[in-house]
Amino acid sequence: MKQTMTAKIIGSHLVSGKMVAGEEIGIRIDQTLTQDSTGTMAYLQLEAMNIPRVKTKLSVAYIDHNTLQTGYENADDHLFIQTVAAKHGIVFSKPGNGICHQVNVERFGRPGWTLLGSDSHTPTGGGIGMLAIGAGGLDVAVAMAGGAYYLKMPKVCRVELTGKLQPWVSGKDIILELLRRLSVKGGTGRVFEYTGEGAARLTVPERATITNMGAELGATTSLFASDEMTRAFLAAQGREADWTPLAPDEGAEYDETVVINLDELQPLVAKPHSPDNVAPVVELTDSKVDQVAIGSCTNSSYLDLIKVAKILEGKQVHPEVSLVIAPGSRQVLGMLADSGALSVLLRAGARILECACGPCIGMGQSPKSGGISLRTFNRNFEGRSGTPDAKVYLVSPEVAAVSALTGTITDPRTFGAAPVVVMPDKFVSDDHLLVFPPADGQAVEVVRGPNIKPFPKAQPPAESLRAPVLLKVGDNITTDHIMPSHASLLPYRSNIPHLAKYCFSGVDSSFPERALQAHGGIIVGGNNYGQGSSREHAALAPLYLGIKAVLVQSFARIHRANLINFGIVPLLFADSADYAGISLNDELVIENLRDQLSAATVLTVRNVTTGKDIPVKWEATERERQIILAGGLLNYTRQAGGV
């Protein structure tokens, strides 16, 4: 049979299930990555599994989110992760080494491998032909312990790129165009495979920008072929031996096809407050800009920043604009310094930040009240910048750099000749901030500072459920809404009791208090509930507050899995019109909950307040039913006698 790239990688890693779209499959994981903000939980869970050494081919623990260290908390987290990593055979990437996805593509990723990461932008690895998937920390811990990763076999959508990118148009515009067409829900249950002459011409960093933001489509992952371009990139990284070819078979059949003609593509921008709110840059020109931020795991590669330096060379940042640049990795920063581009950036007036997530996750550089910030990042959800009423626009590095000079959103095509950048023959690797684990980690003592708190344990469901609706929300609720993540909270990712006080704080600040008093409650929501990040804190905090079930019109993939992993029942309205028939504080009852969860596909929820019965779907695989009945994945794994 003629196979897609997705089918080839899944086929060679399949441990259970059939490769039929929508069926549950289990795949073997070659490599894992964690970052610090989700990593502490992942490693606490790995410890709970009693596995002396990870069983993956390679596991890497990055510190990139929480590098500000304004108190002891972050440093406690870092040391905990460093010592757990040494004990269990995991490579540790110290703070300052760079953003996990950027460094992973540079130094560790391999075409044809599977990668599971506790971060939703793990699909960045698809830029070098890895099947790279984002998941909750517990799923990643199970994979480190040698367990399979379970998911629904995705549909495979081909994105055929015809023609050639025009001057000033880049990889970022390709993914923004897809977001414009398909929306933040459009990728659900799908892998996007990029093919065609346009794809072959893209450099690895451009490909990685596109696969990175496939996460914003809600896609399971995205993939480019591993071709000569990939080989050249890995060779320049001194890793040619890691290269293997990957391409779809001629005539492979896809479930869907989208065609983007690059000849016609123009510079695009995602307007506030969603990555799919996309318009041509030319429609927004003349809007004044207060801040320009260049970096994040989407656009912080050496090629991106060299382009920026060429645009800024000999010019000055507009006096009313603050330009901040966070290089994606130490390799990028070092090469900018060696090439002289760093001084070009400095002389133009740019502020250079550490090689880390930084402003992307609200760690510093929050714009002024009501400020307009132009960012090369991947997310512009309301409040994510740390300034509740800021307006964040997502753009390419080209648009960002040109607008930093003019002080208004500017169509770069009006700016003169586009910079030409070429892939270096050799990247200078600087692996001094990588710590490799000892051959035998048994003697390593794991250091647990006071910021490392035990995580809440899920419980098996009761015979029946009677609980009030403690919160009713609308469509596209993000994990940033559920468990906000700004600078004041990020240091508490290993302290759920503290975090839980801020659960849904931007939506309804009385929720945590009411939930604790109710001793059991239900959340009701609309479509695409839980989109965005992989943070399982968006399930752990509600668990801590006693939430038993979440009833919505549809879920984002990773969040639904996280709810199940922590024993919270994810339910869907059978008839989405019933959403309107439930109000805040209504009392809902599900009789024989346990029995129904074990076998039924449609459950009846009685709204005691209105007297109406509401049919809800419990669309779970046999494995998911067993996990919920066991009281979460950790209990299930233990009962099953390990992974």
Q: Cα–Cα distance between 485 and 163 in angstroms, integer?
A: 40
- Region of 200-208, 334-342, 531-539, 559-567 interacting with ligand MIC (CB under 6 A): 531-539
Q: Identify which of residues 312 and 452 has a Cβ nearer to ligand MIC in the complex.
A: 452
CB neighbours (10 Å) of residue 468? Answer: 18
Is 535 a binding residue for ligand MIC by CB under 6 A? The answer is: yes
Q: Identify which of residues 106 and 536 has a Cβ nearer to ligand MIC in the complex.
A: 536
Q: Identify which of residues 361 and 499 has a Cβ nearer to ligand SF4 in the complex.
A: 361
**CB 542, CB 482: distance < 8 Å:** yes
- Region of 221-229, 300-308, 312-320, 530-538 interacting with ligand MIC (CB under 6 A): 530-538
DSSP string for 559-599? HHHHHHHTTPEEEEESSGGGGGG--TT-EEEETTHHHHHHH
Q: Please pick, from the candidates 6, 32, 38, 170, the single residue that binds ligand MIC as defined by CB under 6 A.
A: 38
Q: How many Å is the maximal CA-CA distance in the chain? A: 72
Residue 425 φ/ψ, nearest 5 degrees: -70, -25
Q: CA torsion, points 216, 217, 219, 221, in degrees to nearest 10?
A: -60
Is 8 a binding residue for ligand MIC by CB under 6 A? The answer is: no
Q: Cα–Cα distance between 117 and 40 in angstroms, integer?
A: 13
Is 121 a binding residue for ligand MIC by CB under 6 A? The answer is: yes
Q: Identify which of residues 136 and 468 has a Cβ nearer to ligand MIC in the complex.
A: 136
Site size toward ligand MIC, by CB under 6 A: 11
Is 556 a binding residue for ligand MIC by CB under 6 A? The answer is: no
Q: Please pick, from the candidates 226, 485, 494, 553, the single residue that binds ligand MIC as defined by CB under 6 A.
A: 485
Q: Is 319 exposed, middle or buried (0-12, 13-18, 19+ CB in 10 A)?
A: exposed
Q: Which of residues 264-323 bind ligand MIC (CB under 6 A)?
A: none
Q: Identify which of residues 65 and 560 has a Cβ nearer to ligand SF4 in the complex.
A: 65
Is 120 a binding residue for ligand MIC by CB under 6 A? The answer is: yes
Q: Cα–Cα distance between 500 and 484 in angstroms, integer?
A: 10
Pull the structure tokens for residue 85.
């990593």
Q: Identify which of residues 4 and 38 has a Cβ nearer to ligand SF4 in the complex.
A: 38
Residue 66 contact, options ligand MIC, ligand SF4, none, Cβ 5-8 Å cut-off depending on partner type: none
Measured from the CB of residue 100, what is the shortest distance to ligand MIC in angstroms?
9
Residue 296 contact, options ligand SF4, ligand MIC, none, Cβ 5-8 Å cut-off depending on partner type: ligand SF4
- Region of 14-22, 73-81, 118-126, 580-588 interacting with ligand MIC (CB under 6 A): 118-126
Q: Sign (positive/negative) of CA torsion 366, 372, 375, 380?
A: positive
DSSP 505: T
Measured from the CB of residue 584, what is the shortest distance to ligand MIC in angstroms?
27
Binding site for ligand SF4 (CB under 6 A): 65, 99, 119, 121, 296-297, 357, 360-361, 378
Q: Cα–Cα distance between 482 and 490 in angstroms, integer?
A: 14
**CB 476, CB 184: distance < 8 Å:** yes
Measured from the CB of residue 358, what is the shortest distance to ligand SF4 in angstroms?
8
Report the relative pairing of strands 155-162 and 256-261 from DSSP bridges.
parallel
The position carrying tokens 């794991």 is 446
Q: Cα–Cα distance between 481 and 552 in angstroms, integer?
A: 15
Residue 183 contact, options ligand SF4, ligand MIC, none, Cβ 5-8 Å cut-off depending on partner type: none
Report the relative pairing of strands 256-261 and 221-224 from DSSP bridges.
unpaired
Measured from the CB of residue 493, what is the shortest distance to ligand MIC in angstroms?
7
Residues binding ligand MIC (CB under 6 A): 37-38, 65, 119-121, 361, 485, 533-535
